[in-house]
Amino acid sequence: MSILGTKKFWKPVKGSSKNQKENQILKNSGYINLQLRCVNYMSKGNFWQSTFGGKDKIVLTTNLKYQMGRDSIEASSVQDIREIKVDKNYNLGIQRNIAVKIPANSDALSIDVKMTAVKNDSLQNKFEMLNEPEYQAALQLTPTIVGQLITVTSLVKKLLTDSNPNTQLEASFAGIISNQSENNPVSNGKLTKGSLIMISTNDGERFENVDESKFELRGDTLYYNKRQVENTHIVFNISFESLKGNDEHSLWFKKYVAAINKLYDIEIAEDDEEIKKIYSDSKKLWIEGNALLDADSTYINQERRNIKNAAIKSIKDKYKEMTKTVTKTLLPQDNNEILAGLTGSTSINEIKVDLPCTGSFLDSSLNIDPNVPIKLNDINKIDIDDNQLSVLLETDLESYLEELKMNNIRFNLWNQK
């Protein structure tokens, strides 16, 4: 199957808008999932196989590249290996995740799929080993997963080179992730959620003047205009999630939990000064957690600020709970420091997207261009009391937690002692 003989079609998922523009995935707007939905292979044997009958050992491999500027992460996997008879149509029935919750902050997400015939028994055994489930991890960008994928990717590439394969099927797609939506993103190579259908037109139907609405999947079988598509073809499902939630195995989450648990030391504190120091130490742990979260490439900026807000809110609530029997309020007036920890050096307009109430307050309080990064000196000029800050942060946090709930995502920084 030549790449030049491959036609690409797009179909929205059931229940979503049919408009491509509304389905386009934009930069920094959420997380991408990519699933290999089904593969159909029309076997065409050589003259001798077609005349006297024969079989081929076929290997299906995928290569996914996550591209950000000059840097890229590749994930190659052996998705299937099987023996097939020639001159027959085969639906491989594969449904497997290729990428899971990849942040949409890269420039492009490209994928190559190959079906090759392997003649060497030794190479066949190696491909079969790499076809085991433990070597088919979906790209998730976590350090442990990426480390494994780099190793497997190098092995797959070497095997494909060593096998000098006879390529039976080859298709590729590069989805650009852009900042602005457009009317026809699919035809312009822009990543768009829905079903991406790639059909070889070298053999079988030519698929000209296609009405994409007439494509449908019944189980793992593709139909067009109520007839099964027998051409060699591949279908990918591209889905999207706006939020990810917390990662309880991450270093930043553990740092936030340590910050909350630090406040339990108040139970054995001997005086007010020691209580204040315990709170200060807890907040330092929060700031350290913020730095670790900023370095976590698996999250988009918008959710990072919401998670920081959730963490500091839980720290303040726990502190008030632990000091409720104290006759006077011991909470230090550190509101500007908290604001600086949440906003970093981003612009007011960026903060408005992530933390609408807090961003609007900063816009009304600071006489600066809302499109330029905020400076620490700007934050220090703000006069805000603890109650006012708590209302802003709590309002923004409620919106985030409600959206998580709507997406059936669990979030919990509390009760982790």
Closest CA to 346 of 370, 365, 381, 312: 370
Per-residue pLDDT, averaged over 297-302, amounts to 89
Q: Does residue 74 carry a pLDDT above 90?
A: no
Closest CA to 237 of 197, 188, 189, 200: 197
pLDDT classification of 416: cutoffs 50, 70, 90: very low
240 forms bridges with which residues in the sheet? 32
Tell me whether residue 1 is exposed, middle or buried, using C-beta atoms within 10 angstroms of its C-beta: 0 to 12, 13 to 18, 19 or more: buried
Q: Does residue 346 carry a pLDDT above 50?
A: yes
Per-residue pLDDT of 131-168, as tens digits, reads: 888 788 788 887 667 767 777 888 888 777 765 556 66
Per-residue pLDDT, averaged over 78-104, amounts to 85
How much of the chain, in percent, has pLDDT values that exceed 90? 39
76 forms bridges with which residues in the sheet? 63
Per-residue pLDDT of 349-379, as tens digits, reads: 999 988 999 999 999 999 899 999 999 899 9
pLDDT of residue 162: 67
236 forms bridges with which residues in the sheet? 36, 196
What is the Cα–Cα distance from 17 to 13, expressed in whole angstroms?
Answer: 8
pLDDT classification of 186: cutoffs 50, 70, 90: confident
pLDDT of residue 225: 95
Q: Does residue 326 carry a pLDDT above 70?
A: no
pLDDT of residue 170: 77
Of residues 240 and 47, more confidently modeled: 240
**Which residues, 6 or more positions from 293, have their beta carbon under 8 angstroms from its beta carbon?**
250, 252, 299, 304, 307, 308
What is the Cα–Cα distance from 168 to 42, expressed in whole angstroms?
Answer: 9
| Mean pLDDT, the chain, integer | 85
How much of the chain, in percent, has pLDDT values that exceed 70? 90
pLDDT classification of 70: cutoffs 50, 70, 90: confident
Q: Does residue 97 carry a pLDDT above 80?
A: yes
pLDDT of residue 45: 56
pLDDT of residue 411: 74
Q: Does residue 4 carry a pLDDT above 70?
A: no
pLDDT of residue 54: 67
pLDDT of residue 291: 95
pLDDT of residue 238: 94
Residue 26 contacts residue 177 (beta carbons within 8 Å): yes
pLDDT of residue 48: 45
Residue 300 contacts residue 29 (beta carbons within 8 Å): yes
pLDDT of residue 171: 78
pLDDT classification of 327: cutoffs 50, 70, 90: very low
pTM summary value = 0.84
Q: Does residue 332 carry a pLDDT above 70?
A: no
Per-residue pLDDT of 9-31, as tens digits, reads: 999 988 788 889 999 999 989 99
